[in-house]
């Protein structure tokens, strides 16, 4: 599945594959071409109205701009901003999307 990422004016395209999915718990992926990266998003239910979402992202900056951006934590700020947009999206929906929620086990 083609994905795009844009940080500090630099846009990169890559393909990624889901390597693990446990509905309502976690989703993990890794790039299959393009920039080398992998990550996991975990959902921790705190109570009936709250969930903590954590992200672990491992990537290799390429080129001077990305290395500088990583050194000044531009990547961390981008992930935090994306999580805020995700929170707004999810809280605004009020219902599930109806998308497939099946299990993908670890390789």
**pLDDT band, very low/low/confident/very high, at 30 (cuts 50, 70, 90):** very high
C-beta separation of 102 from 21 below 8 A: yes
C-beta separation of 66 from 59 below 8 A: no
Out of 3.30.530.20, 3.40.50.300, 3.30.1490.480, 1.10.1040.10, the CATH code matching 2-93 is 3.30.530.20
- Domain residue ranges in the chain: 2-93
pLDDT at residue 72, rounded to an integer: 84
Nearest to residue 41, comparing CAs of 71, 60, 19, 10? 19
Structure confidence by residue, pLDDT tens digits, 50-91: 889 999 988 877 778 777 777 887 788 888 898 898 888 888
Evaluate if pTM is beyond 0.85.
no
List, in sequence order, every residue forming a beta bridge with 40; answer none if it has no partner: 28, 56
31: number of Cβ within 10 Å: 17
């Amino acid at each position: 599945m083609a994905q795009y990422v844009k940080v500090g004016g630099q846009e990169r395209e890559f393909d990624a594959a889901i390597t693990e999915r446990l509905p309502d718990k976690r989703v993990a992926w890794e790039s299959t071409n393009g920039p080398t990266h992998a990550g996991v998003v975990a959902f921790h239910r705190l109570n009936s109205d709250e969930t903590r979402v954590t992200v672990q992202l491992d990537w290799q900056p390429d080129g001077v701009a990305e290395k500088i951006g990583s050194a000044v934590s531009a990547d961390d700020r981008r992930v935090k901003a994306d999580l805020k947009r995700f929170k707004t999206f999810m809280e605004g929906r009020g219902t599930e999307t109806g998308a497939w929620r099946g299990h993908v086990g670890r390789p």
